Every structure is written in C-alpha cells, then in structure tokens.
Amino acid sequence: MTSSPQFGTPSVAVKPGEHICALYVGHSERDKVLLPYLREGLLAGDKCLFAIDEAESAEMLSNIGDSIDVPGRVASQQLEVRTSTDPVLTPEGYSIDEIVAFWDSNVKAALDAGFPFVRLGAEAGWWMPQMPGLNAFFRYESELNRFSGRYPQAILCMYDLEQYSENIVLDLLRTHPQVLMCGVLLENPYYLTPDAYLARFSRNG
C-alpha cells in the first residue's frame, strides 16, 4: 500500500502493521472510537473483523451509519463481529500460537478473497475470560507485535478503564507501540519489543 488508510478518528491515519491500544471509559466512548474505525474500513473496501464483550452486536452495528448497508456487508463477510458467545478458546486450552493462528487464518482468507487491507481488533473483555490470567494475556498482547507486520493489516485493542484497575496500564504501555486516547494517537515511549518484554517477564517470574 502506498498510503495510510484513515483510522476514522479526525486527523488519525492507521499504517499497515500497527498495533494500537485504545483507552476509553464506557460503551459510549468505545463506540466513538470503534464505529468510525469500522465505518472508515467498510467504505475503503477493507475487511473488518472485531470481537466485542456483548452477547448481541445488532444494536452497536445499527449505529455504524445510514449510508452503509450493514446487513449486506455482513452477508458478504466484509464485516464480521464476534460476541461474548463466540469464544475462540478456554483458559484450559490457552495457547499463544493457537490465538495467533486464529488471526492469521482469518487475515489470509480475507486477503485471498481480494480485500486490500484488514482491520482486526477486540475488546479486552472478550479475550480476558478466555485466558488463564493477566500474565498470559499480556504475553499474548506482546506477541501480537510479531504478527502485526506480516500483512497489510491493523490491530486495535480496546480497554474500558472502568473495568480494570490502574495496575494494568503499565503492561498496556509495554505491549502496544501506539496508544489512542482522547482522539489522539501517540507513539508510546514505554513500549517493549516482544523479546524485551519476554525477558522482563521471565526475570519477574
């Protein structure tokens, strides 16, 4: 790709290979980030695959925009939304390789189907119940940085700060090269590469 597609938030572009952490409070703020991200992708012809921490997606999807035929985009598989009733694994079956393989197979299928760019993402509340604990979760988040650059894609991880204590914020910063907050995309000076994060994790046991 020769240019960066628009994220959906004013003045924010999303580059191929980016892994972004969006911090927000409540569903209203979530939707101010997520819906433009999906809307911009659908209008650009991108594949959009997202997972939300809700049992039903219809109400959220209805707010994407009147100019977009959302049922048609779902039927064509341009837009896929997984919900809390569609988990990928269980804590007992946790495997970073399996999780990355899930994303990898979906991205390959989308590119093979002719989509030029893939927008992936999930709410933390969707993934966390499938993990055996926070350490495993953040190791997965770190490993996503090896995967993100493989394809023309962007990965958006969304964290509702009402649901999590402040002690996870440092690990969020260590595992995401970019942070989106209050409509501003910031390069993260606290980010650690996967190798550096794994070494730190190993030292801290």
Which CATH number covers residue 186?
A: 3.40.50.300
Q: Is residue 9 part of a domain?
A: no
Rounded CA separation 172/159 (Å): 9
Give residue 103's pLDDT: 93
Give residue 85's pLDDT: 93
Q: Is residue 186 part of a domain?
A: yes
112: domain range? Answer: 18-204
Strand (E) or helix (H) holding 69 = none
Q: Is residue 168 part of a domain?
A: yes
Q: Is residue 102 part of a domain?
A: yes
**Sign, CA torsion 192/37/16/119:** positive
Rounded CA separation 102/88 (Å): 8
Short-list 77, 103, 110, 79, CA closest to 89: 103
Contacts of 77 (CB under 8 A, 6+ apart): 47, 113
Q: Is residue 38 part of a domain?
A: yes
Q: Is residue 8 part of a domain?
A: no
For the chain (length 205 residues), average pLDDT per consecutive 10? Answer: 64 86 92 92 95 90 88 95 92 90 95 96 92 91 96 95 80 93 90 93 67
Domain count, the chain: 1
Give residue 3's pLDDT: 53
Give residue 183's pLDDT: 85
Strand (E) or helix (H) holding 143 = helix 134-147
Q: Is residue 12 part of a domain?
A: no
Q: Is 88 helix (H, G, I), strand (E, B) or coil?
A: coil
Give residue 2's pLDDT: 40
Asked whether 16 and 87 are in contact (CB, 8 A), the reply is no
Give residue 166's pLDDT: 66
Asked whether 128 and 172 are in contact (CB, 8 A), the reply is no
- Surface-to-core class of residue 195, CB atoms within 10 Å of its CB (0-12 exposed, 13-18 middle, 19+ buried): exposed
Q: Is residue 85 part of a domain?
A: yes
b/e string for 60-96 if b means 16 or more Cβ within 10 A?
Answer: bbeebeeeeebeebeeeebbbbebbeeebeeeeebee
